[in-house]
Structure 1
Amino acid sequence: MEVYNYKHYHEQFMQNLNGTTPTEILLVVLPAPIGIFLSTFLCAVLLCLKPQKISTPTNFVCWLPIFVDFITMIVPLVLCFTICSDIHVVITLIFMVGLFICVVYCCTSCRKVLSQDYVSTLLTTQILPNKRPFVTNFRAVMNLMTGICILAVDFKVFPRRFAKTETFGYGLMDTGVGMFVISNAVVIPEALGYKGKSQTLASAMWRSIKSTVPLLLLGSIRFFVTKQIDYHMHVSEYGVHWNFYITLAITKIICTLILQFVDSDYSVIITAVVIGIHELMLVSGIQDWVLSNVARENFVTANREGIVSCLGYVALYFAGICLGQGLRDYKSSFQSNIYLMGKQIIISVLLWSATALCKYWFGVSRRLANIGYIIWILALSTTVLVILILVELLTWTLNMVFKANTKNEKDGRFHLTIGYVPVTLEAINYNGLFFFLLANVVTGLINISVQTLTFGVLQSLSIICGYMFVICNVTVLLYFKKIKLKVW
């Protein structure tokens, strides 16, 4: 196909999409948390079955978990996002059966321990006080799903209902920037309870601007490169010059400014006030202006989506701080983490109810980052966190059972320790923004090299899986070398 005609065809292929249902989006991501448990469990079993004693790290130890991660987490997500999108419930059920088999196997092997007075000991046991694996898994899974989608969307095997919506609606790719903001907000010092040293307004703002310079540079480079090579762009996503990196940078600068005047303990109030201001601006006529066909004659009109939506992402950022503050209060015992899960379930139910109301009152628009979008992203995030907390508690329980059973078995054949975070997710979390940047670069190279929309199913899946294998292995290699590239 001629280059110009293909570019026009590709742009048309990405436009006028209305999304799917929030329920389907939740179901299609469920294999990810279940895959986390299956991956860590299988790695523990396979390494335990290795005959010789492992005293130092070997290639087998390092790369077997990566292969297992790829099979249990990445490939199922690729399938659910593409050719199995209509039967994602079946994939989830298969994964749940696998999870059930693992648990039954463990419980059968350790029935002697389970028959003892074990529950009371478990409930009062200290559980990972310094680091929360479910937060690490949440942040990395979000990045992993985004990495898959930004390339898969360029192939016909990716359902159009999962792509970014034009104006209003629920799209799987609409969750990317929102959940990225949430995942970063939950781990900032203010969310973790660290106030830090008092700073003057000027020094705080200078430090914030300096830290966002890499993001602004990346955003600018992306614009000039795509312009130079005439890369296909969906202008209504952020605008002509605006993009994901600039949104992150501006959001961080605005939030830093607000935190100089209002303490982070008032994050709930800040979130409500910012949402209120943003929504009042939208209903006063800004919304109609953003969604209109007004000519993009100057910087403001050309980038109206990116400029207007920033306030919504600021509200989402403070909501993420509030969420992180709620998570930090439960680090002591297994029982307290059950309470945490119960609390998050209640919050999740309330948020899903609010999402249903917002759909009819305001609509849900990533393009505007309106109240409907903010509530939906929060509902989806808390639900995924609930599932990941459950996975962590289940892993902790089985590890305690194995530990107790080892004391009762002289041969120690049940000496098995299940990990909490797969090595691939640990590596992605270690270099989160680099992983996303690498995914964008490789996606761009693939789109420049081939006409992705002309490929069949098998070719498309091969390219997507190969791409994920490459970017994940590069990220893991950096993690093994302890090379951290931080720009957020």
Structure 2
Amino acid sequence: MDSLPNTFNPNKRLKEEFVSNLSGSSMMEIAALTTIIPILILLRHSVGSHRAVDVVSKKNDDAVVGSKGWAAYMASMSLDFLLIIVPIILVYTVLAEWMYIWATLLILLLLFSIAAKRFGSYSTLKEDPFSIRQTFSSYRVATMIITCVCILAVDFTIFPRRYAKTETYGTGWMDLGVGSFVIANSLVSRQARNISSRSALVAVEEKKKMGWCRWRKGKSRIPRSWKTAIQSASPLIILGFARLLSTTGVDYQLHVAEYGVHWNFFFTLAAISILTSIINIPTQYSGILGSLILVGYQVCLMHGLNSYLLSNERGTDIISQNKEGFFSIFGYWGMYLVGVQLGNFLLFNYHSSATMGSNKWATIRVWILSLLLWLLTVIIDRHVERVSRRMCNLAYVTLVLAVNLQVLAIFLLSDFLPGSKTSVLEEAYNRNLLGTFLLANLLTGLVNLMVETLFASAVKALFILIAYTFSTTFIIGLLDYCGIRLKFW
């Protein structure tokens, strides 16, 4: 049955078919892509001095100084865009077939830069005592840049279909998106840093004194821990419903097998937040609980749950309509809990973090764990169950952990490179990560409603992708220059 002629999105069915029934690429290609992106950012760091030292002048009253600060800021931002984002776009599109060659060349350039610092004039430079924090900021920004590029690029024919999300089993590059967001949040969460939530402690004390929170009307009784959890996740819930209403209102294309009929990314994050708040366990036990959840969930999958989740049949109830979204929560929650303990162990469980020795030890630990997780992923994929983002099974969780730790491990090599530890573009994105994601989603929707992406030529598609990413970067850079941070909670 054809789409209605008056719809906002006349090619909705074609666009849905374009991202359906895909099987992904190889783990080797995923590992190579994972290598390229952080190396591009590290090489940008080693190209000259480009930190926005003049940006602080924007707060001064002198208009001339302020204009110079703005010019210097935008010049640095433009150079960052040309050396980081444009190459990423090219790697994902017209240069995708030469990806292994580019990965090899970039690795050689990285090794040359390390050697230049060790044996050249850079060898006497002092180390940055906050490199761990800045390294993690680069990692989070890299995740956001990749996400922003891919969510629009996937709608064009120049984006390889093997990079798009898989239908059932397989390792598509875009499959890693939601899992990477979960890991990025867990590694630096309050639990990973051993920071107790004050509101949670207050709720526990009040529960001891007063028991249950009672509504004046009705007979329902709600634990205060539930109330606190829902309040903390309410922004994500609101964003989830806003996305649902907006996509439904404009008849936007929806791949039902991704999360379900009504479910989306924000609801998954909200569910993780609620479960973590309600079941608040000590950090040292979070990895154990997460592993038990993942193994238990995998056992259920292998005893028939996977057949139910992969079936195209859906009932009329809310759970059946959104079965992928509901049941994958167990996988993502287990992933989050494991990430909490890994973050505590790798990044926050040593006292002399300002010393070069401890930074090197952190780098070694991340590299070892990344390699072990890659090995574990291959074993599980071959002998237990293949990787499936749709179900968020055990192999998918270990793959996401391996990829993210590999990215982090490469960024930790910044201690061995000359130049700055960050860039103007990274600082701007890092201060407005959620704002960047929402802006990118809005612009992606507008492009899809205004342009027939399926029929765009390679040149037109590249122009649109560059204009889209430049617009996102410029707006976020402007907000950062003006000192505006988009915080929702």
- Using structure 2 for the length normalisation, give the TM-score: 0.86
- Who is 1:32 aligned against? 37
Q: Distance between the aligned counterparts of 1:275 and 1:31, measured in 2?
A: 30
- Who is 1:300 aligned against? 319
- Who is 1:348 aligned against? 370
Q: Distance between the aligned counterparts of 1:193 and 1:255, measured in 2?
A: 14
Which ranges in structure 2 are unaligned for 5 or more consecutive residues? 54-63, 205-222
Q: Is the 8 A contact 2:182 2:269 kept in 1?
A: yes
Report the AA paired with residue 72 of structure 1: L
- Who is 2:16 aligned against? 11
Match of 2:391 among 368, 374, 386: 368
Alignment partner of 1:173 is 2:174 = yes
Report the AA paired with residue 346 of structure 1: I
Distance change in 2, residues 1:304/1:47 (3 Å): closer
Secondary structure of the structure 1 residue equivalent to 2:188: coil
Matches for 1:33-112 after TM superposition, within 5 Å = 33-44=38-49, 58-99=69-110, 102=113, 110=121
Secondary structure of the structure 1 residue equivalent to 2:49: helix
Match of 2:261 among 230, 240, 243: 240
Matches for 1:450-461 after TM superposition, within 5 Å = 450-461=451-462
Once the two structures are superposed, what CA deviation does each residue of 1:96-145 show, in whole Å capped at 9, x if it has no partner?
Answer: 4554565566667628xx5xxx7xxx8xx774259611111111111110
Q: Is the 8 A contact 1:38 1:99 kept in 2?
A: yes
Secondary structure of the structure 2 residue equivalent to 1:44: coil
Once the two structures are superposed, what CA deviation does each residue of 1:77-114 show, in whole Å capped at 9, x if it has no partner?
Answer: 11111111111122234434554565566667628xx5
- Who is 1:279 aligned against? 298
Q: Is the 8 A contact 1:43 1:65 kept in 2?
A: no
Report the AA paired with residue 299 of structure 2: L
* Deviation at residue 173 of structure 1 after TM alignment: 0.5
Once the two structures are superposed, what CA deviation does each residue of 1:297-332 show, in whole Å capped at 9, x if it has no partner?
Answer: 221111000000011110111111112102113513
* Deviation at residue 32 of structure 1 after TM alignment: 2.1
Q: What root-mean-square deviation, in Å, do the aligned CA atoms of Structure 1 and Structure 2 show? A: 2.5
- Who is 1:200 aligned against? 203
Q: Distance between the aligned counterparts of 1:374 and 1:356, measured in 2?
A: 12
Distance change in 2, residues 1:102/1:23 (3 Å): same
Q: Distance between the aligned counterparts of 1:131 and 1:480, measured in 2?
A: 24
Matches for 1:66-465 after TM superposition, within 5 Å = 66-99=77-110, 102=113, 110=121, 127-129=128-130, 132-197=133-198, 198-201=201-204, 202-259=223-280, 262-326=281-345, 327-330=347-350, 331-360=353-382, 361-390=384-413, 392-395=414-417, 398=418, 418-465=419-466
Distance change in 2, residues 1:28/1:336 (3 Å): same
* Matched-pair identity in %: 33
Shifted more, 340-349 versus 35-44: the winner is 35-44
Q: Distance between the aligned counterparts of 1:149 and 1:135, measured in 2?
A: 21
Secondary structure of the structure 2 residue equivalent to 1:236: helix
Secondary structure of the structure 1 residue equivalent to 2:191: helix
* Deviation at residue 421 of structure 1 after TM alignment: 1.6
Once the two structures are superposed, what CA deviation does each residue of 1:18-75 show, in whole Å capped at 9, x if it has no partner?
Answer: 0001221221232322222232333517999xxxxx9876123211221121111111
Q: Distance between the aligned counterparts of 1:77 and 1:10, measured in 2?
A: 24
Q: Distance between the aligned counterparts of 1:289 and 1:270, measured in 2?
A: 25
Report the AA paired with residue 368 of structure 1: M
Q: Is the 8 A contact 2:25 2:171 kept in 1?
A: yes
Q: Distance between the aligned counterparts of 2:291 and 2:106, measured in 1?
A: 39
Q: Distance between the aligned counterparts of 2:356 and 2:51, measured in 1?
A: 27
Secondary structure of the structure 2 residue equivalent to 1:311: helix
- Using structure 1 for the length normalisation, give the TM-score: 0.86
Shifted more, 84-93 versus 467-476: the winner is 84-93
Q: Is the 8 A contact 2:127 2:415 kept in 1?
A: no
Q: Distance between the aligned counterparts of 1:178 and 1:106, measured in 2?
A: 35
Secondary structure of the structure 1 residue equivalent to 2:473: helix
Q: Distance between the aligned counterparts of 2:420 and 2:392, measured in 1?
A: 37
